[in-house]
């Protein structure tokens, strides 16, 4: 099968952990070893990744230096795509047999400049804060903040991806058997001008939505979203919570889910399943092959039975 594997930013850097390269490399090694198992099982993969913690950290560092000269989010997105993509590329090469070619591609992703998300920020970025810290930063820096579990984080605009101009390049690389790492952090957000030219825009695209669009346009058989939660849960956060192993897109779309975390993953899964008839899986980094085989995580399909 052709599988698009989306690695969550919070899976590559655990919540509350120091945002060090050493921590990110350690988690990346776990992820790439898991991906190597999927490849060894005979599947062709394309890898995407999140960047929420990392892009938020870079934004903080820039603002601390000279706030009026801070780089915009599209440039920071490109920086994190290169940084995280490099770690994934190197660790995946180390985990695979010698000679397997891997490439990281900086990927522009087009969004609609009139998307309502620009007036309703929802994408969590950066480190976690207490409510008091978050309120103080919101006042001081003009941020929008929102709850993220028991903590708070900055949230930014997350417009829907509508086009990936680099699809022909990715297809060419796949034709030659090259493993592609692309659309990192949801891709670099761009908008198209009336004359056909493009320019970056202040936003962070949700990587699961971008991954679903990528998987659809490439004709992938499966979209696999790996995160720090082992499955989609019914009654999450209550004594009655239960993991869901298999479910239809229609049924799962009716469940109440956390906005900004599990909700966009499930929406991306439903979009992909409904558009292609393929399967979408959600689970932890270490369970990649088990999820593909239907033995772990949550599998979402247009219809049930699934696999």
51 catalytic? Reply is no
In this model, does residue 126 exceed pLDDT 90?
Answer: no
- Specify the DSSP class assigned to residue 159: P
In a domain, 60, yes or no: yes
Give the distance from CA 301 to its chain's centroid: 20
Q: Give a yes or no: residue 306 inside a domain.
A: no
> Which residues constitute the domain of residue 104?
2-108+161-235+243-301
Is residue 123 among the annotated active site residues? Answer: yes
- Residues 172 and 116: their CA atoms lie apart, in Å, by 34
Question: Does residue 258 have a pLDDT over 80?
Answer: no
Is 217 marked active-site? no
Contact 224, 281 (CB under 8 A): yes
Q: What is the pLDDT of residue 11?
A: 67
Q: Is residue 201 part of a domain?
A: yes
From the candidates 50, 51, 56, 123, which is the catalytic residue? 123
How many other β-carbons are positioned within 10 Å of the β-carbon of residue 241? 10
> Is 138 within the bounds of a domain?
no
Identify the band that residue 20 occupies on the pLDDT scale cut at 50, 70 and 90: confident
Residue 113 lies in a domain: no
Nearby residues of 299 by Cβ (< 8 Å), 6 or more positions away: 245, 246, 247, 279, 280, 281, 291, 306, 307
Q: Choosing from 50, 77, 265, 297, which is the catalytic residue? A: 265
pTM: 0.88
Q: Which of 207, 260, 278, 302 is catalytic?
A: 207
- Tell me how many domains the chain contains: 1
Q: Is 14 a catalytic residue?
A: no
Is the residue at 156 inside a domain? no
| Residue 116 domain flag | no
- Report percent pLDDT > 70 for the chain: 94
Residue among 8, 9, 260, 281 flagged as catalytic:
9
Query: Average pLDDT for residues 242-255, to the nearest whole number?
Result: 90
Residue 160 catalytic?
Answer: no
| Token representation of residue 8 | 């969550």
- pLDDT tens by residue, 149-183: 788 988 888 899 999 999 999 999 999 999 999 99
Q: What is the pLDDT of residue 306?
A: 46
Q: Check which CATH number belongs to the domain holding 33 and give it.
A: 3.40.1160.10
Highest-confidence range of 92-96, 140-144, 258-262, by mean pLDDT?
Answer: 92-96
pLDDT confidence tier of residue 68, bands split at 50, 70 and 90: low
Q: Which are the contacts of 137, defined by CB distance < 8 A and separation ≥ 6?
A: 129, 143, 145, 154
- Look up residue 203 and give its DSSP letter: -
> Per the domain annotation, does 292 fall within a domain?
yes
């Amino acid at each position: 099968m052709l599988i698009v594997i989306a690695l969550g930013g919070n899976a590559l850097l655990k919540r509350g952990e120091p945002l060090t390269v050493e921590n990110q490399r350690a988690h990346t090694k776990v992820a790439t070893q898991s991906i190597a198992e999927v490849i060894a099982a005979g599947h062709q993969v394309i890898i995407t990744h999140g960047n929420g913690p990392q892009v938020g950290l870079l934004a903080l560092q820039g603002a601390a230096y000279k706030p009026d000269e801070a780089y915009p989010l599209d440039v920071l997105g490109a920086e994190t795509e290169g940084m995280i993509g490099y770690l994934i590329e190197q660790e995946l090469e180390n985990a695979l047999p010698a000679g397997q070619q891997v490439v990281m591609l900086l990927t522009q992703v087009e969004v609609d400049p009139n998307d309502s998300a620009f007036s309703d920020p929802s994408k969590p970025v950066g480190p976690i804060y207490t409510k008091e810290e978050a309120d103080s930063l919101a006042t001081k820096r003009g941020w929008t903040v929102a709850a993220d579990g028991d903590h708070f984080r900055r949230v930014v605009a997350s417009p829907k991806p509508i086009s990936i101009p680099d699809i022909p390049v990715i297809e060419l690389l796949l034709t030659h058997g090259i493993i592609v790492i692309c659309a990192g952090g949801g891709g670099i957000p761009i908008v198209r001008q009336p004359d056909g030219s493009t320019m970056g825009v202040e936003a962070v695209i949700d990587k699961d939505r971008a991954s679903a669009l990528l998987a659809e346009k490439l004709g992938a058989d499966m979209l696999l979203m790996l995160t720090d939660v082992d499955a989609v849960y019914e009654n999450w956060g209550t004594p009655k919570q239960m993991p869901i192993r298999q479910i239809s897109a229609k049924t799962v779309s009716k469940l109440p889910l956390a906005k900004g975390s599990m909700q966009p993953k499930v929406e991306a899964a439903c979009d992909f399943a409904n558009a292609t008839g393929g399967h979408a899986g959600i689970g932890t980094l270490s369970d990649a092959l088990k999820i593909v085989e239907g033995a772990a995580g949550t599998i979402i399909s247009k219809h049930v039975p699934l696999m």
